[in-house]
Chains A and B, each alone.
Chain A
């Protein structure tokens, strides 16, 4: 009843839910979603008159089964990790950044420009840092525009980021086509400085694959995002705004400032993704290199449940599907993987909350 009754042996604790419970809740729902997607995939493959087992075996062999395929998965996962982290960072503050595509392109473009301007003699570590900062800045600028328009005028970030995709991509296209392309192509000359080492340089088995050290950067960014969200005051404020803006406002948090920060840094993260292609793979900026990776980041964030480490796992998953599509191309059309991607997204969006609800109610019943 009152404070005096506390003496009866109730000691405050810091007991998290039992790990088994948490593991169940983290793993079972996505696994169910995956199962649903696999069943749909089976039906699709059967409809093409092929054996699902053979196709899946081929898919795995072509991706995780050999060094080249695995290298390609790593490469594709890197860009998706950046764009997925970008989207999830915005969503944690309750904002939907659909501008990953143009932020990624702007970041890649800035990295290429910087790499072109820097003298070839620049020490690698400095050149890399400067190029990465340039990429992040460019993405951040593209992200800051919708952030400012939202805080200042209440413009909806979804509309503004979508429209900015058109504007930024068209501007970049104009710049490349009109001013800075190698004749007969739509890409810039090769950069002089800031080339990221490839995995193949370290381990020759990866020969031919595009995987490069940008992957390490992506993982570091994921760790940084995790630390920011869950260990810092800024992250506390950001998540508070995403969960309950009115409570955040009551708690003295400036909602507008948090929005500004969240969307800008979402852009920074997406922009940094540009280094994977430009510094790590082709060593030039090519028009249209983002080709959907920005949008796929939305699905990656969704499947990764907006947790930085979940996003990394989801990025690998989508990269596998994408690379696997090429591996099975001879048997079923590559587009089947696109269909499967869509099925996974829908399955995650619908099955995960449903399965979690069932888990919880089952647990409640067993407690009672």
Chain B
């Protein structure tokens, strides 16, 4: 099945002649105005597990897509087993033994495990008839060799997520991959499944395969990898041996201590607005949210945010922050618990009625939720408040226009043309539209989820200032940020979410990245009130 002179992961032995399995040098890749990779370099030796870490949008996946031939770099140099392969195709990459296990499974659910594995290179008897038995035997053999135990006769649709992932890994191995790239493989796995995966990966490594693990979970990195490359904002900022570093140091490299945010000067909490009622603001009591697989993705979270306060939620992504915010916003059912705004129970209320109760929400995903990309800026600026811009069911276009001009002016949305569709704006300006809308209406509680993700530095500064202004005006703000220093700089109190629970809640003044980092990776288990 595999052919070509450089097709196997053959490695020159001997201590001095070791050729890196992967060498990528000064890779540049831009998408329009966004530079996903800016001079990124990675070197992975054969037979090691290499972790590629960085925050979301740091350029990890882009780099690996270039390796897999799914994209061509704008400039830079890619070598596999010493051979220059810059700008090769996916077929070349597969033939050279590179296998990418994607985050989203690419399996045919109605076919069996064996059928999925042989898809595209089916063994045939007499030229036409599919040789299922042969295929199943091949799969069984590979399965026992690698420890990826799975019955080849089972249908994909009957498998659990963990088992489906095993099939994905088997699939690339079946095609002769000796260099495996796994993109966030544990995002969908339960802890026991993660442990099984580690066992398999170690076994493959001991067999001589090379593994690259894309992740942003530091605990995993420390547990499984031999070497680490840290990416930040498209650049590779460090290459370290796992044995010579600590999670705290990796976290520091990932976040980039020297990048101080504009709002980084801690603004000390102002005095609470006088006369605030004790039950004002946002209160959550023992919230439980179920995930798609029956796991409690939010597991009994309680907190309150007072008027004039910002409560930051830090934590590695995927620990339930998204689900918590969606539950608070009314976009995801709450399994148990109560949500109150200014003392009013809104747990069972619709999104629209939560708006009426004073809730505003900057969603995490502006492309999917925050904006209607085909709608004009003017129309996007009234999403969620459209009822205030209509009279007897007819949209009042003059007021929509007025509102758009006001928002474009005060939030400096560019290009300043209210009739442009939302998709025509840059990420930062799209976010400004969302922020302008959500902070431009009457509200008492704001949920701000990753408000500065994928936004340029100038806009970050501006959005931070808006959040701080809202706090001064006595709004209660719940801020979720994957950026630890953002959460620290803006919040009065900061909570760390770990595996669906608040691991700790403490005043920001007493918190530091080191302390929170330990809660984030679960090495320190807190007793959050």
Residues of A within 8 A of B (CB): 1-3, 5-6, 10-16, 231-234, 236-237, 239-240, 243-244, 246-254
Contacts and interface: CB of A to CB of B under 8 A. Distances in A.
B352 to A, nearest CB: 3
Contacts of B414: 10
Interface in B408-426: 408-412, 414, 416-419
A10 B416 contact: yes
B386 A1 contact: no
Interface in B367-392: 368-375, 378-379, 382-384, 386-387, 389-390
Contact of A233 (B350, B386, B408): B386
Contacts of B331: 249-250
Contact of A3 (B363, B378, B410): B410
B373 A244 contact: yes
B411 A3 contact: yes
Interface of B: 329, 331, 350-352, 354-355, 361, 363, 368-375, 378-379, 382-384, 386-387, 389-390, 393-395, 397, 401, 404-405, 408-412, 414, 416-419, 458, 461-462
A232 B393 contact: yes
Contacts of B395: 231-233, 236
A2, A12, A234: residue with the most chain B Cβ atoms closer than 10 Å: A12
7 contacts: A2-B412, A6-B412, A12-B408, A231-B395, A236-B395, A239-B375, A247-B372
Given A6-B409, A240-B372, A244-B368, A251 B383 contact: yes
A14 B352 CA distance: 29
Contact of A237 (B386, B416, B419): B386
A250 B373 contact: no
A10 B404 CA distance: 14
B437 to A, nearest CB: 10
B412 A15 contact: no
Contact of A236 (B352, B355, B386, B412): B386
A355 B446 CA distance: 45
Contact of B462 (A3, A15, A237): A3
A3 B412 contact: yes
B417 to A, nearest CB: 5
B351 A250 contact: yes
A14 B390 contact: no
B440 to A, nearest CB: 14
Contact of B363 (A13, A250, A254): A250
Contact of B418 (A14, A244, A249, A252): A14
A43 to B, nearest CB: 37
A15 B404 CA distance: 13
A5 B363 CA distance: 27
B386 A248 contact: no
Contact of A252 (B355, B363, B372): B355
A233 B384 contact: no
Contacts of A2: 412, 458, 461-462
Contacts, number: 101
A250 B370 contact: yes
Contacts of A254: 350, 352
B458 A252 contact: no
Given A247-B370, A247-B371, 13 more contacts: A2-B458, A6-B409, A12-B409, A13-B417, A14-B404, A14-B419, A15-B419, A231-B395, A231-B397, A234-B393, A246-B369, A250-B329, A250-B383
A248 B419 CA distance: 20
Nearest to B383: A251
Given A12-B409, A14-B418, A233 B372 contact: no
B387 A233 contact: yes
Contacts of B368: 244, 246-247
A252 B394 CA distance: 18
Contacts of B379: 236
Contacts of A239: 375
A337 B202 CA distance: 67
A356 to B, nearest CB: 14
Contacts of A6: 409, 412
Contact of B416 (A1, A3, A11, A252): A11
Contact of A13 (B352, B371, B383, B418): B418
Contacts of B408: 12
Closest 8 CB pairs of A and B: A252-B352, A1-B458, A233-B390, A251-B384, A12-B408, A251-B383, A250-B369, A252-B351
B468 to A, nearest CB: 14
Contacts of B371: 247
B390 A243 contact: no
A13 B413 CA distance: 11
B328 to A, nearest CB: 13
A6 B416 CA distance: 10
A319 B416 CA distance: 45
Given A232-B393, A233-B393, A243-B372, A14 B417 contact: yes
B495 to A, nearest CB: 24
A252 B350 contact: yes
Contact of A232 (B383, B390, B405): B390
Contacts of A244: 368, 372-373
A280 B217 CA distance: 71
Contacts of A13: 416-419
Contacts of B363: 250
A249 B411 CA distance: 25
A307 to B, nearest CB: 14
B419 to A, nearest CB: 5
Contacts of A231: 394-395, 397
A195 B329 CA distance: 54
Given A3-B411, A12-B409, A233-B393, A247 B383 contact: yes
Contacts of A247: 368-372, 383
A254 B349 CA distance: 12
B71 to A, nearest CB: 20
B393 A243 contact: no
Contacts of A1: 458, 461
A247 B372 CA distance: 6
Contact of A251 (B386, B411, B458, B462): B386
Contacts of A248: 372
Contacts of B458: 1-2
Interface centre among A2, A243, A249, A252 (most CB of B within 10 A): A252
A232 B394 contact: yes
Contacts of B378: 14
B386 A15 contact: no
B371 to A, nearest CB: 6
Contacts of A236: 379, 382, 386, 395
A306 to B, nearest CB: 12
Contact of B383 (A11, A12, A240): A240
A279 B417 CA distance: 49
Contacts of A234: 393
A12 B429 CA distance: 14
A239 B383 CA distance: 12
A12 B351 contact: no
A13 B361 CA distance: 27
Contacts of B329: 250
Nearest to A244: B372
Given A12-B404, A247-B370, A250-B369, A240 B375 contact: yes
Contacts of B361: 250
A243 B375 contact: yes
Nearest to B461: A2
Contacts of A240: 372, 375, 383
A66 to B, nearest CB: 43
A48 to B, nearest CB: 41
Nearest to A234: B393
A1 B389 CA distance: 30
A91 to B, nearest CB: 14
A48 B463 CA distance: 70
